[in-house]
Structure 1
Amino acid sequence: MKKMIAPSMTLFAVFCATSAFATEQTLGTQTGQELGVSLSSYKYEEPNFEPGLDVKDDGIKLGVDYTTTMAVQNDWFLKVNGRFAYGKVDYTGSGTSSNNPDYYYEIRPLFGKDLMVGNSVWAPYTGFGFRYLNNDSRGETSTGAWGYQRVSRYYYLPIGVTNRFALENSSVLESAIEFDYLIRGQQTSKLSDVSASYPDLENRQDSGYGIKFSSMYRVNDFAIGPYIDYWNINKSDAVIYSAGDSTYIGYEPKNTTIEFGIKASMRF
């Protein structure tokens, strides 16, 4: 006797299979481009620079970032991410000063793999990161001290994972957490901005780390959500330099940077 299958059951089976395929395709890493803008609060600090004295730079930054992604075979993917952020910060330390230009950019080639787990995708990734920061504190502070330009370069190893979880109404929650291992840092202090008798210093930083976290609510190609970037860098090596008849020891103190804000992006 031939077994008959009800049309409604057949349609239901096709719908389930199609839905599962659509969910996997939506959650998986897609080939394409993404452009984002951000507004954030930024704070750099050298805690206990001297007994009872913390050095700080804080302000608001506007940022833009761009990511190009290529999905390849067997759920692997390649990404190149770039970010630029600019703002004016207020200095507190040896006196105070305001509206000092401060900007940074990052470039990060990355690769990873999608892993389907239940109703979500976990996408671990790694690669290489470069971060460049320029802080321009030239000028006189409220106590008569003179500031100068500082340039930071970080070469680091990012290790992270992105999770995408399907929500109702075809929306997706996309969260990422990343640990950044500092391979090497280089600090340039342009003391010649203070006086021609001072040399520019180069200090090497060999110990430190960063943490990045974001959680984006995505509807189709539009996404919005909060993010946090944090850096903790230990004291640099020391160099001996002379200015006039005096000899000094110069180093970059232990420092932290925290930036938190909101980002909106469009995928195309």
Structure 2
Amino acid sequence: MVKEAGCLYLVGTPIGNLEDISLRAVRILTEADLIACEDTRETLKLLNHLGISKKMISYQKYSENEKKAHLIDLVEAGNKIALVSDAGMPGISDPGEILVKEAWDRGVRVEVIPGPSAVISGLVISGLPSNNFYFHGFLPKAKVKEREAVVTGLKDIMATLIFYITPHSVEKDLILLLKILGDRPAAIARELTKYYEEVIRGTLSELLSVLAERTLKGEMVLIIEGNNEVITELGLEDQYKIYQMMLSDGVKSKEALKTISTDYNVSKNRLYEYILGKKEK
């Protein structure tokens, strides 16, 4: 009997409430030949809840390189492999991304089974702008200067910023973010979909005040408003092009210089000198 073509399934699993598992996810987990997971103990809890008995293999950060080739070999041999994380979508801040890349590099079939995501759930419940966002994941466990450099690189991003934080790092992370980003509106969404689900809203300094009074436990997502005060300076050549367009539209030179200076927050005298330099060439 010829075996069907194999596939690597990326299966989203609940981030807390087991009722959030999808019907399709249940079917794929039932039909899979093997389930690759971060922690077999965590996945076993879900499988037992669903009444599914299935062979599992641990696929963790410390074993990803040695096991990725073996798992894709199995897919190439016609096996259906379901990749899951401990909670949420595999490949988001976990070793799953390495396995997915290996699958594409070797040309095997990959399918995604969408499911809950702490990132998206935290964003939409936060009340902060959601039309444009940047997910960073965990801040690095590095020396102070290295951590400051990472956050400084995020300072001018205008999109809403999203981080994963732990109970052990939340205070240290908030202090760093407040220092570099300023006192922006933010929210901590913790224990999402679970019994003790909670969203704490306020500025970064207000969130720190909350921490001074109580200890936050559980898995947390930190959402911070993006930089709304970034002004991108227009280069002189671009300013000159706008100036030329305004002249062609009948605007007088003096008025064009004034308008560009006001609208783009640039130096009128500097642009005028640039224009004179163009005429001399």
Give yes or no for TM over 0.5.
no
- Please, what TM-score do these two structures have when normalized by structure 1? 0.20
User: Which has the greater radius of gyration?
Assistant: 2
